């Protein structure tokens, strides 16, 4: 396919100040803030508006409101986040997050979000793993849905232009256009001046020239066979950022949520919210043993109940909204630790009939369970024919979240490539080596707002609409058409299945050098097959054609994860090396893995030091540092 200049000129075009790619919580919040700053905004999403994966964040949004425990403070939230992230978090991001999350939650309430309430009418908060106080503002177990509904209504009220069922396949770059206050380690080179994509409904190309581009595309879960993530999570934003030279950091840290459904096979990996454990759910193996106490880290064992009686006292107090001196149950250890514990129980032959363990909340009153966990009750009743008020659930680890992402400036969300910004799961730094439950929703509110403001400020410094190189547009259009014009090529579904198998087997919860080396070799072979992918049919509603470009992104991100995991010769947070089981503070403490695209197109993996933590923040960590 050859496009003449006049054909390029005829492509549907929507020039804007700020292009936001992704309409989950981070993307909508960024769009709202950019619009409020006076920028013209285009909000683009692969799915329908309001259908983003944020709706699957069920348990709550973490913020130190201190409504249930008056002792909670932003300083404690900061410490919990840093300790949970094994001190690999960007300290400034963790500070801003802890300080600003309460205001963002109150703002959401002012915009119409209806949270569960304490007896005196304030926002109710529940406990979650790794949080030292009940901290998660929630709406039963449907918090993400309420958040998206509220942000969606706000965006519509502001008149933000939304482009649904549209996929961006390439970022367009041009001459450097002003500084974006970029993240440390970058800021030079060509600037991002727009995005090229296509309508999934018609296949027609579309171009968005923009003074600033915000990535808010979520995660990478579809690189794995078993995942809680929806179909949208194909690493699009990570790969787009990498393609224009932006740094990716901490890509080895992939969180496997400890509790996904394991049966029936058709729903394997579907999320079972941490709220079940926050409300008192107990994990047992096939022998009926409550096993989590056996896996608590020694340096944090004192934070958890030492007996079933103490744990039960804590659960009773929480259900009644009372503060207690009892310590929280061992099931509320951090996600990385609980996942490894469940994996070990199953591997050593103590798992449930379908390869998981049992999660039981049926000892609590049925009405209480249905009121606090309505989605979980319906999910298990409809999909597994299990009544969670009468018996246990079967659960096991599922790929859930990537801590790594685009390196960004804490204040503005600017990447190391001028004109490119990122917020939410696609951005790295906030969560370090492991994310605490509930911090994702407050992350997207805090940094969605900051990134939208940063992108709008960057756009305001540029007077004229940036020049869009027609050669890049023509090349992007040719790449779009190639799989449809090719005959007798590779099946993208076959490559995706092989990719997911490689990542699930070789780059999972536990890793070892030989497996990682094998994975790199397998990924190289799969990557070499991608240019030969062919698809039948036309452009209209063609899921195989859609997969071609998502597969390209997944191949890039899978390589980044695997090479970063091979480089980090220690175990830290969600990254567990069988051949390097200890945490190596001397060699790896305070060091981020960095992935960059070199001039010849190859992938470079190196490290950089974390930003220095100010003394006033370091003292908040106590003995943890």
Which residue do the tokens 């961006």 mark? 168
**Residue 342 CA from chain centroid, whole number:** 22
Among residues 447, 439, 442, 462, the alpha carbon closest in space to that of 409 is found at 447
Residue pair 38/460 in contact by the 8 Å Cβ criterion: yes
Is 257 tagged catalytic? Answer: yes
From the candidates 257, 328, 340, 563, which is the catalytic residue?
257
**Residue 163 CA from chain centroid, whole number:** 22
Pairing of strands 136-137, 125-126: antiparallel
- CA 532/CA 371 separation, integer angstroms: 52
Strand arrangement, sheet containing 393-402 = 254-261, 393-402, 357-360, 282-284
Query: What are the tokens at 121?
Result: 């009418």
- What does the angle CA 316 – CA 321 – CA 326 come to, to the nearest 5 degrees? 50
DSSP H or E run through 245: none
- CA 508/CA 513 separation, integer angstroms: 12
- CA 40/CA 160 separation, integer angstroms: 8
Residue pair 333/391 in contact by the 8 Å Cβ criterion: no
Residue 377 DSSP one-character state = H
Number of other CB atoms surrounding residue 614 within 10 Å: 11
From the candidates 92, 138, 200, 277, which is the catalytic residue?
277
Pairing of strands 393-402, 357-360: antiparallel
Query: What are the tokens at 9?
Result: 């000129």
Question: 225-228, long-range: CB within 8 Å, 24+ apart, which pairs?
Answer: 225/500, 225/501, 225/503, 225/504, 226/260, 226/268, 226/269, 226/397, 226/398, 226/399, 226/504, 227/269, 227/398, 227/399, 227/400, 228/56, 228/257, 228/260, 228/269, 228/270, 228/271, 228/398, 228/399, 228/400
Residue pair 208/14 in contact by the 8 Å Cβ criterion: yes
- Burial degree of 347 (CB within 10 A; 0-12, 13-18, 19+): exposed
- Burial degree of 625 (CB within 10 A; 0-12, 13-18, 19+): middle
Angle subtended by helix axes 513-529 and 492-506, to nearest 10: 170
- CA 413/CA 198 separation, integer angstroms: 26
- CA 551/CA 239 separation, integer angstroms: 11
Radius of gyration for the chain, computed over Cα atoms and rounded to the nearest angstrom: 23
- CA 328/CA 37 separation, integer angstroms: 44
DSSP states of 455-479: HHHHHHT--SPPP--HHHHHHHHHH
Q: Which residues are catalytic?
A: 257, 277
């Amino acid at each position: 396919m050859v496009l003449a200049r006049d054909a390029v000129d005829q492509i549907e075009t929507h020039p804007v100040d700020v292009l936001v790619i992704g309409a989950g919580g981070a993307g909508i919040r960024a769009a709202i803030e950019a619009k409020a700053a006076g920028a013209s905004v285009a909000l683009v999403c692969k799915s329908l508006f309001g259908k983003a994966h944020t709706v699957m964040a069920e348990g709550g949004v973490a913020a130190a409101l201190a409504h249930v425990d008056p002792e909670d403070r932003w300083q404690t939230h900061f410490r919990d986040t840093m300790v949970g992230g094994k001190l690999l978090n960007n300290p400034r991001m963790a500070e801003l997050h802890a300080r600003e999350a309460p205001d963002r939650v109150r703002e959401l309430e002012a915009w119409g979000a209806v949270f569960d309430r304490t007896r005196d009418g304030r926002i109710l908060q529940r406990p979650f793993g790794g949080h030292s106080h009940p901290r998660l503002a929630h709406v039963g177990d449907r918090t993400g849905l309420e958040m998206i509904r509220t942000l969606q209504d706000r965006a519509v009220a502001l008149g933000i232009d939304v482009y649904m069922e549209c996929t961006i396949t390439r970022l367009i770059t041009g001459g450097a256009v002003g500084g974006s206050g970029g993240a440390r380690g970058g800021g030079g080179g060509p600037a991002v001046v727009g995005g090229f994509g296509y309508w999934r409904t018609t296949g027609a190309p579309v171009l968005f020239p923009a003074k600033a581009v915000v990535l808010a595309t979520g995660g990478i879960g579809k690189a794995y066979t078993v995942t809680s993530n929806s179909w949208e999570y194909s690493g699009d934003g990570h790969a787009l950022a990498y393609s224009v030279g932006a740094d990716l950091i901490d890509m080895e840290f992939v969180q496997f949520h400890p509790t996904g459904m394991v049966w029936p096979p058709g729903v394997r990996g579907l999320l079972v919210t941490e709220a079940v454990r926050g409300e008192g759910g107990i994990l047992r193996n096939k022998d009926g043993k409550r096993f989590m106490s056996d896996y608590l880290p020694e340096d944090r064992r004192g934070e958890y109940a030492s007996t079933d009686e103490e744990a039960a006292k804590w659960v009773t107090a929480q259900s009644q909204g009372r503060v207690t001196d009892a310590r929280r149950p061992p099931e509320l250890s951090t996600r990385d630790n609980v996942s490894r514990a469940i994996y070990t129980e199953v591997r050593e032959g103590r798992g449930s009939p379908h390869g998981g363990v049992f999660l039981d909340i049926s000892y609590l009153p049925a009405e209480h369970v249905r009121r606090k966990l309505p989605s979980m009750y319906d999910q298990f009743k409809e999909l597994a024919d299990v009544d969670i008020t009468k018996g246990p659930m079967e659960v096991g680890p599922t790929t859930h979240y990537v801590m790594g992402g685009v390196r960004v400036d804490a204040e503005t969300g600017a990447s190391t490539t001028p004109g490119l910004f990122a917020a939410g799961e696609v951005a790295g730094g906030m969560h370090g080596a492991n994310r605490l439950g509930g911090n994702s929703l407050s992350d997207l509110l805090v940094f969605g707002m900051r990134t939208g403001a940063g992108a709008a400020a960057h756009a305001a410094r540029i007077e004229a609409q940036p020049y869009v190189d027609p050669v890049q547009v023509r090349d992007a259009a040719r790449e779009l058409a190639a799989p449809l014009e090719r005959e007798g090529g590779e099946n993208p579904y076959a490559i995706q299945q092989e990719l997911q198998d490689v990542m699930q087997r070789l780059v999972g919860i536990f890793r070892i050098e030989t497996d990682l080396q094998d994975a790199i070799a397998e990924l190289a072979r799969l990557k070499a097959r991608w240019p030969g992918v062919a698809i039948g049919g036309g452009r209209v509603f063609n899921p195989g054609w859609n997969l071609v470009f998502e597969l390209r992104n997944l191949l890039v991100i899978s390589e980044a994860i695997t090479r970063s995991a091979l480089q980090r010769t220690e175990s830290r947070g969600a990254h567990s090396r069988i051949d390097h089981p200890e945490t190596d503070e001397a060699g790896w403490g305070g060091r981020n893995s960095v992935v960059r695209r070199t001039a010849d197109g190859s992938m470079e993996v190196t490290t950089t030091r974390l930003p220095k933590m100010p003394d006033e923040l370091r003292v908040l960590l106590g003995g943890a540092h």
